[in-house]
Amino acid sequence: MSKKLVLENVSKHFGSLIAVNNVSLEIEPGEFLCFLGPSGCGKTTILRMITGFEQATSGNIIYDGKIINDVIPQKRDFGIVFQSYALFPNMTVNQNIAFGLKMRKVPQKLIDERVVEILTLLGLTGWERHYPSQLSGGQQQRVALGRAIAINPNVLLLDEPLSALDAKIRIRLRTVIKRLQEELGVTMIYVTHDQEEALALADRVVIMREGEFRQIGTPLEIYKEPKTSFIAEFVGTSNFLTCTKKNGKIQFGKLEFMVPDLADIEKEEIYLAVRPENIELVDVTVSGENCVPSNVVDVEVEVVNFLGAIVRIAFFLEGEEMFVDVPEKEFAKIRLKRKDTMKLYFPPDAFYVYTEMFRKLI
Amino acid sequence: MNDRSKEYALPMEYGISSTRMEIDKFIIPAVTIFIALLLFFFMLFPLSAILRLSFFKGGQFGIANFTLENFQRYFTTSYTLNALWHSLYVSIATTIIVTVVIFFFAYAMTRTTISGKTIFRNIIMMPLVAPSIIQALALIYLFGRNGLITAHFLHINWNIYGSTGIIISEVLYCFPHAFVILYTTLSAVDIRLDEAAESLGATPFKVFTKITLPSAKYGILSSAALTFNLTITDFGNPVVIGGNYNVLATEIYSQVTNLYRFDLGATISIILLVPSLMAFILNYYISRKTFSMISGAAKPVIRPSRPLKKVSYTIYCWLVSFSIIVIFATVVIGSFVKIWPYDWSLTFAHYSFPSIAGYSAIWTSLWISLIVGIGGSFLTLVAGYVMETRRPFFKQFIYLLSVMPAAIPGLVMGLGYILAFNKPYYFFYGTPWIIVINIIICNFTLGILSSISNLRNIDPAIEEASISLGGDTIKTFFNIIFPLSRVAFFQNFVYFFMRSMTTISAVIFLVSATVHLASIEIIMLDNDGWTASANAMCTCIIVIVLIMLGILQIVSKKTGKREEGLVSAI
Amino acid sequence: MICVAVAFFTLLGTATAKKMVVVYTSLENEEVVDYLKLAKQELPDLDIQAIRLSTGELGARMLAEKDNPQADCVWGWAVTNMSEFVPRGMLVPYKPKGWDKIPAHFKNPEGYWTAIDLYAAALIPNTKVLESKNLPMPKGWQDLLNPVYKDMLIMPNPASSGTGFLQVASLLVLLDPDYKSKPVEENKAWDFLKKLDKNMGQYIKSGSKPAKLTAAGEYAIGCSFAFVYSSLKKKGFPVALVFPEEGAGYELEANALLKDAKHEEAAKKFLDWAISKSAMKGYAKFKLGVTYPNIPGPKDLPALNTIKLAPMDFPWQSENRAKILEVWQNLFIR
């Protein structure tokens, strides 16, 4: 059953506040799509418009070729998992999961079979007669999932479902969700502010900010090629350098960096971003002869942070605090300490170039 | 596209019924209209009958007939005008006394570490289980012309009839109502403010006057307004202990029943409405302000009180509690004493009521109260649901209608009912049903406010979850909202039941040859001079209410355990 | 659930195959309980629903229900009030079975009402209180003006109580022989009542309560009526009975059929019983005199023919009832 969900110039205004500003998107059937953005960016509003709990101020929401703006939520046959799980406290796990089926007047025998199926699928066998208050957070979330998929929806919408859980459980449930989606082949629309989650789960990620789509792409694309400085900062970590373009070269304080593709940039003030893991340690992670000389600098180690698989070293460059990530295995060879000098190499193609900065550098 | 999806597919014929959803569109509007009509017909219409009779000659509506003659007559007749001054005097005096006494009582509950707080809290609420006449009955036995204390212990000539008697009975009657408000207020106000002030060097007196009192000011005003309203509209106590001292409530009754003057009765009703409405509006305005102050935050631990403070407050609380206990004890004991205060032998004789109705009145009161309890709490739950979660059209208007009953004195409503519904085509007139409706409407406000407040505790996502799964309004309500509101339902049931068993003012005009109520029988018996039997009837009512409270405690304990997580997991 | 309850109770109501009759009465509650026991025995197929209201309240209620009468008949209501209702058109003439046996001066010639009994006013002192406060035993109304009785007297309010009204009316005719030829407010009796007012502790709504409060020791002397004395005496209260030597006011109590009665047949059956010999025998246990000839009154009260009665003028007092009450209210309600 291939049913495409399309957002066509959708906007949502709350009085004078524009929550969603003229966005368009085509969601492929069976796709795992993530809306990622900070609080207040409009991602939940979009979700609510898709589910039918909010009406779009303008634009169309199209499903399977039909405009569904005015279709009541009950008739949309979408499954929803809420941030607060919203399990019915007065019903057992069984009854919660069976609820949607009962509303559809499915015969009891079929309901029982299906509930057993779902319990097995989610690893909840044995908890049928328990009440939500007797379950752990992770279990409750699984029941919420089960309840939503029981009616076999074509689209499953999840509104920050894991934000209330502990880190470890979150990771475990992430796997459950991903596996579920692959097994059922259902279209998954997932809203979150946790970029790690988005990158781990999604086929495609939509970065949202202030009611607009800033970038749509695969996790890899978003990570490797952040279109705006905001995305560079929001997804992963980035060091930012405020530079001036002079005579075809980039000046950062007293340093001059070599950066490719500068020709078409007319502005004088430009911003460079570079990820900590892309900065190399000369003669440790990269051989000195492969380095463009202008991009090599000597800096003093400020703080060494041991993060497990990588070591993050803080340093100052032209008065700005920055970080470089070194794999632990490599770091073990050199064991830098505070006040040691290290030679850093900024590969030209590691820089992201932006003409606008999303906020002032503090 | 994954083939596994077919394994989990639901056969196509199971979908959400379109007809059910179509009908669902009309449910909320239909219920809203029903409630609006209910309030219109059973509250505004009787009220308009009273307005009509007092402002228009002969009750005939029309510009030509508009007259202020009735009011003129009222204000120029000294004995009717006196009723107004008497009412105001009594109400103001009661308000001052109650507010001060209960403030310190509530203070003791929330700011000191005296022991026995649970006992005190229960005792102070006791007046609620008896009709607002028990105070008068007891006081007469103790301080009447032949009272145990006045005539037999102290041998003085003074007696309690008149304004003194009314004030003391009303004070005791209003204790529980004032306490609820002041207790909540003082609990909500942060003790840490007091402690912060103390740590900055303020003396206890300064802390009290500059911190504690001002932060409780809304609660104090609210409680004062409520007390004023309760007192000025009360009928039961003044009619028994007022003697010749007439107040507005007794005057309305006497005009209507003794002198055939419905128009004057209606006029006095309007006059009674004015102070009562003002107090109500003040209270309403204040309660909206204090809503934000009351949070569910945990109470910080109270520092142990100094011994002097502890002792004096303990004594104080015992004194207050004692006054309430004495009232109940007198009435109960009085019902068994052969001839008070001459012959102290105990007897059941007074329990064979020398009245036509007797036990059938108790039976009638009981089943009417059960219906009122179930009907009232169900109706207010539905109304609260519609108002709070579904936001229908005209929400503000219906909300206004819903809070109006609290502003209208019961006596006035009762009179309005006879004026409005006394036509052959109102088949419910003269039947128990008019009483059921009347009591439900008169107590509608607290019921709906309590429902709304309880419904706010339910995670709104739960309703959305139900909707997303195909639930319509009715199914969501019965499968989810109603079970989750069990606590609210019980609380409301108790409230309606208690009010129904003990109410006097609203129904005094509505009892008939075929419908006798226990609370009114008390007055009838007292009128006839069978005071001991009146006490007996009162005791019966108290026992019934206590039994019902006991049953409900047990039931709610049993069903409460399962559903701890009423609010979502977050 | 509510629907079930409604259905259940409506069925319960209709299930009783008895025929219902709704009776309004101002006979004392005590009496009614007794009479109804008798009635239920002798009228087994009637379901008698009665409500007892004081004389004034009864009239008010019937007026209120004029457009939608709830009662079928009136039983034992003061003739003074009843007569007022004849011209109002709220009564229907009905001559119950055995009507001829009742003497003419006890019934309305067209049959609008039939009196069943007579009761008289009496002073009921509390002997213990008199003793302890050293007060003399009164012999009549004039004695009550004695200042030693200050605040110790209690009398019914004539607006609500038939007893109260008949006491005031009796004084109006006793103390001013020219009462007929002058306006009510100029009657000499008002001066007496003004003086009496100084000794009055309270005017109370019910006719029997003054006696009961006096019996309970709250007052020294209650102005009430004869029967309540014997009821209290039996219960052991320290009371005495004094018929005022000037003449005891009295009132007749009567029955009538109401217009637009919902259960006319049953009402007629009840009214027939209400003047039957056995009913009268029942009344005779309480009332000073019954209208059925040759039935003696209660044993513990003096016989009717030994008591000096005041010369009541029922037509006059009925006609002037409203005026009398108005004057009284203006003078004595504080």
Contact C245, C308 (CB under 8 A): yes
pLDDT of B188 above 90? no
Question: Domains in chain C, ordered, with CATH?
Answer: 2-118+251-301 (3.40.190.10), 119-250+308-332 (3.40.190.10)
CB half-sphere exposure, C187, CA atoms < 13 A: 28
What value does the mean pLDDT of chain A take? 89
Nearest to C27 by CA among C79, C77, C64: C77
Selected for mutation to probe chain B from A72, A154, A182 (highest B CB count within 10 Å) is A72
Please report the number of interchain residue pairs, chain A to chain B, with beta-carbon separation below 8 angstroms.
130
- Yes or no, beta carbons of A101 and B472 under 8 Å apart: no
Which stretches within B112-147 are classed as H helix?
Answer: 117-125, 134-143
Which DSSP symbol is given to A259? -
Q: Which pair of structure tokens corresponds to residue C56?
A: 């004034």
**DSSP category for residue C130:** H
Mean pLDDT value of segment A152-159: 92
Q: Is A70 on the interface with B (CB under 8 A)?
A: no
Per DSSP bridges, beta strands C19-25 and A66-67 are unpaired
Mean of pLDDT values over B491-495: 90
For residue B447, the distance in angstroms to the closest alpha carbon of chain A comes to: 23
The CATH architecture that domain A237-354 belongs to is Beta Barrel (2.40)
- Banded pLDDT at B89 (limits 50, 70, 90): very high
- Whether the CB of A109 is below 8 Å from some CB of chain B: the reply is no
Q: How far apart are CA A193 and CA A213, in angstroms?
A: 14
Residues of A in contact with B471 (CB under 8 A): 74, 99, 103
Q: Which of B38, B142, B250, B258 to mutate to test binding with chain C, by most C CBs within 10 Å of its CB? A: B258
Residues 362-401 of B with CB under 8 A from C: 367, 371, 374-375, 378
User: How many Cα atoms sit within 13 Å of A106 on the Cβ side?
Assistant: 25
Encoded tokens for B212: 């504690």
DSSP state of B41: I
Whether omega for the bond prior to residue C125 falls within 30 degrees of 0, making it cis, is no
Q: How far apart are CA B529 and CA C209, in angstroms?
A: 5
Question: Does C3 contact B at CB distance below 8 Å?
Answer: no
CA A143, CA A156: separation in Å to the nearest integer? 14
Report how far Cα C110 is from the mean position of its chain's Cα atoms.
23
From edge to edge, which strands make up the β-sheet containing A255-257? A255-257, A249-252, A239-246, A269-274, A352-354
- Label residue A68 exposed, middle or buried (CB < 10 Å: 0-12, 13-18, 19+): middle
> How large is the angle between the packed helices B248-257 and B262-290, nearest 10 degrees?
150
Asked if B339 reaches chain C (Cβ–Cβ under 8 Å), the answer is yes
This complex has an ipTM of: 0.83
Give the integer Cα–Cα distance in Å for B136 and B247: 15
User: pLDDT at position B1, please?
Assistant: 39
Cα–Cα distances (Å) from C312 to A242, B117, C173, C174, in that order, read 118, 66, 7, 9
Question: Across the interface, which of C9, C29, C61 has its CB nearest the CB of B528?
Answer: C29
Q: How far apart are CA C228 and CA C120, in angstroms?
A: 11
Residue A33: name the closest of A157, A125, A183 by CA.
Answer: A157
The CATH label, of 1.10.3720.10, 3.30.70.20, 3.40.50.300, 1.10.468.10, for the domain at B17-49+363-515 is 1.10.3720.10
B250: closest chain C residue by CA:
C205
A8-53 pLDDT, tens per residue?
Answer: 999 999 988 999 999 999 999 999 999 999 988 889 999 999 999 9
> Does residue A241 sit in helix, strand or coil?
strand
Average pLDDT value for residue range A148-162: 91
User: Can you give the pLDDT at residue B488?
Assistant: 83
Q: Residue C315 half-sphere exposure, CB side, CA atoms within 13 Å?
A: 4
Nearest alpha carbon to residue A112 among A124, A122, A127, A102:
A102
Q: Rounded to 10 degrees, what is the CA torsion of B541, B544, B547, B548?
A: -110
Select the residue of C61, C71, C203 nearest B244 (Cβ to Cβ).
C203
Q: Where in chain A is the domain with CATH 3.40.50.300?
A: 5-231
Q: Which residue has the tokens 């029941």?
A: A143
* Residue of C1, C20, C64 lying closest to B374 (CB–CB): C1
| Cβ–Cβ < 8 Å for C250, C121 | yes
Please spell the DSSP secondary structure of B474-521, one letter per residue: HHHIIIIIHHHTHHHHHHHHHHHHHHHHH--TTTTTT--SS---HHHH
Residue appearing with tokens 């007293």:
A254
pLDDT at position A208 is: 93
Per CATH, the number for B67-343 is 1.10.3720.10
Q: Which residues contact A100 (CB under 8 A, 6 or more apart)?
A: A147, A148, A150, A151, B469, B470
Count the residues in chain A: 362
Q: Do chains C and A touch (3 or more CB pairs under 8 A)?
A: no
Span A5-231 CATH architecture: 3-Layer(aba) Sandwich (3.40)
**Residue ranges of chain C with pLDDT lower than 50?**
15
DSSP string, B365-382: HHHHHHHHHHHHHHHHHH
* Chain C hits for B531, Cβ within 8 Å: 212, 216
Instruction: List chains touching B (3+ CB pairs under 8 A).
Output: A, C
Quickly tell me which residue has 């005031």 as its tokens: C168
Give residue limits of the domains in chain B: 17-49+363-515, 67-343
The average pLDDT across B497-522 equals 89
CA-wise closest residue to B445 among B387, B364, B507, B389? B387
Give one word for A15, left, alpha or beta, with left for phi > 0 and alpha for psi -120 to 50.
left
User: What tokens does C73 get?
Assistant: 């008949």
3-class DSSP state for residue B287? helix
Q: B3 falls in which pLDDT band (50, 70, 90)?
A: very low
> C60 and B256 in contact by Cβ < 8 A?
yes
Which range, of A290-304, B65-79, B501-515, averages the lowest pLDDT?
Answer: B65-79
Residues 6+ apart with CB under 8 A from B26: none
Q: Find the farthest-apart pair of alpha carbons in chain A and give their distance in angstroms, rounded.
A: 78
- Assign A61 to helix, strand or coil: strand
Which of B355, B345, B351, B339 has its CA nearest to residue B536?
Answer: B351
Residue B126 has pLDDT above 50, yes or no: yes
End-to-end CA distance of chain A: 51
Q: What is the pTM of this model?
A: 0.82
Distance CA B482, CA B475 (A): 10
pLDDT score of B564 more than 60? no
| Contact state of B531 with C216 under an 8 Å Cβ cutoff | yes
What percent of chain B has a predicted confidence (pLDDT) above 70?
A: 91
Distance CA A315, CA B276 (A): 75
Tokens of B393: 């059209």
Residue in chain B closest to A152 (alpha carbons) equals: B9
d(CA C333, CA C158): 11
Residues of chain C in contact with residue B414, where contact means CB-CB under 8 angstroms, are: none
Chains near A with 3+ CB pairs less than 8 A apart are B
Across the range A269-297, mean pLDDT stands at: 87
Residue A81 confidence (pLDDT): 94
Answer whether B466 sits within 8 Å of A99, measured CB to CB: yes
**Closest by Cα among B475, B463, B467 to A74:** B467
User: What's the distance, Cα to Cα, between the start and end of chain B in Å?
Assistant: 35
In this complex, the residue of C36, C59, C217 whose CB is nearest that of residue B356 is: C36
For the range B84-87, what are the long-range contacts, defined as Cβ-Cβ under 8 Å and sequence gap of 24 or more?
B84/B248, B84/B271, B86/B163, B86/B245, B86/B246, B86/B247, B86/B248, B87/B232, B87/B247, B87/B248, B87/B249, B87/B272, B87/B275
- DSSP state, C242? B
For the stretch B246-304, pLDDT in tens is: 899 998 888 887 666 788 888 888 888 888 888 888 877 777 765 544 444 556 677 78
The CA-based diameter of chain B, rounded to the nearest angstrom, is 100
Contacts of C148 in chain B (CB under 8 A): none
> In angstroms, what separates the C-alpha of A74 from chain B's closest C-alpha?
4
Chain B interface, best mutation among C1, C133, C218, C260, by max B CB count within 10 A? C218
Whole-angstrom Cα distance, residue B441 to residue B372?
10
pLDDT for C10:
59
How many secondary structure helices (H) and strands (E) does chain C include? 13, 10
Mean pLDDT on A54-65: 92
Q: For the segment A180-221, what is each residue's pLDDT rounded down to a tens digit?
A: 898 888 999 999 999 899 999 999 999 999 999 999 999 999
- Please state, for a pLDDT cut of 90, what percent of chain A lies above it: 55
Would you state the pLDDT for residue A2?
57
**How far, in Å, are A70, A112, B484 from residue A127 at the CA level?**
38, 14, 21
Q: What is the average pLDDT value for chain B, to the nearest integer? A: 84
Q: What is the reported pLDDT for A12?
A: 93
The yes-or-no verdict on residue B7 having pLDDT over 70 is no
